[in-house]
Amino acid sequence: MNISALTHSFQFVDSISVDRNEAGSVDIKMPQRRYEKADEYHVHRYGWGPFCGFSVDTTDYVGVEGVYLFTAGYEIKYVGETVDIHNRIGSGYGNISPRNCFEGGQQTNCRINHLILETVRNGDQVALWVEETENRKLRETELIEQCDPPWNKTSATSPSVTIQQPGSQSPESQSTNQSDSSSSVVATEQTRNGKYAPLYDYLETIESDRFHLSMDEIEDIIEAPLPASAKKYPQYWRSSSQAHAKVWAELGWEANPDFDDMSVTFERVEE
């Protein structure tokens, strides 16, 4: 739904400005590694990110309750409500804390931040709109029914994953392998639970059909360096020649490397 249908009640606040590095690229955040109790808790289904830091000028909305919208290309993507718009946007979505990546943390913060990151990466501008109201919960419900915003929809079957050392196996993976040992979801138990196990777990949490990861981000996820061949040869990412690539193919993904900017685009393969 286009925001133009609601401009009679919603005020444009500001466009979101994401943090960028010296090269002008979005500064990717992977805060999970900084959590001091990372070995004690599971990363929830949206906790792997990657995330971005962003700012938006909400100084006029300190202590103001109401309903807010995120739009991209003037299309309404998300509807939320809060008792304090300034704190909810800046401290909640704009800066993902390490603790919020783990079970018990704010999953919505992580999920929306990641969607904003992917939207900006795809060249769209995300904007914030606000309607002040004391009946914020009722208004939120009405707007979700009216606008059917895509970012308010979540997958109830997405698994949680754990931070683990390369080559280790989580209790969830052990259970899955025991009950589905003959499944084609994995090429072999050794490959599925080897070096790339955290990457496979991460791929299972993705809801979009196409997304990008830099090779540095992949190394952060697997907690290990990629081999030199991964940064030189397309065959390394092809399921026809590599056992590790067969696993993400069986999970429904095709990997296409770009050696100019050292990134990989994962696209969901239609069945």
Of the pLDDT bands very low, low, confident and very high (cuts 50, 70, 90), residue 187 is very low
- What is this structure's pTM? 0.60
252 membership: H or E segment, kind and range: none
CB 170 within 8 A of CB 161: yes
d(CA 77, CA 123): 15
**Which amino acid makes up residue 108?**
T
How many other CB atoms are there within 10 angstroms of residue 157's CB atom? 7
What is the model's pLDDT at position 158? Answer: 38
Domain coordinates of the chain in residue numbers?
Answer: 3-152, 164-268
Residue 15 backbone dihedrals phi, psi, to 5 degrees = -85, 145
Q: Is the pLDDT of residue 221 over 90?
A: no
Q: Is the pLDDT of residue 271 over 70?
A: no
Residue percentage of the chain with pLDDT more than 70: 83
What is the model's pLDDT at position 32? Answer: 83
Average pLDDT over residues 86-103: 90
Please tell me which residue, 67 or 223, carries the higher pLDDT value: 67
Residue percentage of the chain with pLDDT more than 90: 43
- The predicted-structure confidence for 227-265, as pLDDT tens digits, reads as follows 777 888 888 888 665 778 888 888 888 999 999 989 999
What is the model's pLDDT at position 192? Answer: 61
Mean pLDDT comparison of 124-133, 154-163, 187-196, highest-scoring range: 124-133
What is the model's pLDDT at position 159? Answer: 38
Q: Is the pLDDT of residue 204 over 50?
A: yes
Query: Torsion angle, CA of 138/144/147/149, rounded to 10 degrees?
Result: 150
Of the pLDDT bands very low, low, confident and very high (cuts 50, 70, 90), residue 181 is very low
Please tell me which residue, 246 or 9, carries the higher pLDDT value: 9
CB 79 within 8 A of CB 152: yes
What is the model's pLDDT at position 186? Answer: 33
Mean model confidence pLDDT for the chain: 82
Which residue matches tokens 């069945």? 271
What is the model's pLDDT at position 130? Answer: 97
What is the model's pLDDT at position 83? Answer: 94
Joined together, the tokens standing for residue 234 give 């397309």
By residue count, the chain amounts to: 271
What is the model's pLDDT at position 93? Answer: 94
Q: Is the pLDDT of residue 190 over 60?
A: no
What is the model's pLDDT at position 232? Answer: 84
Q: What's the CATH superfamily of 3-152?
A: GIY-YIG endonuclease (3.40.1440.10)
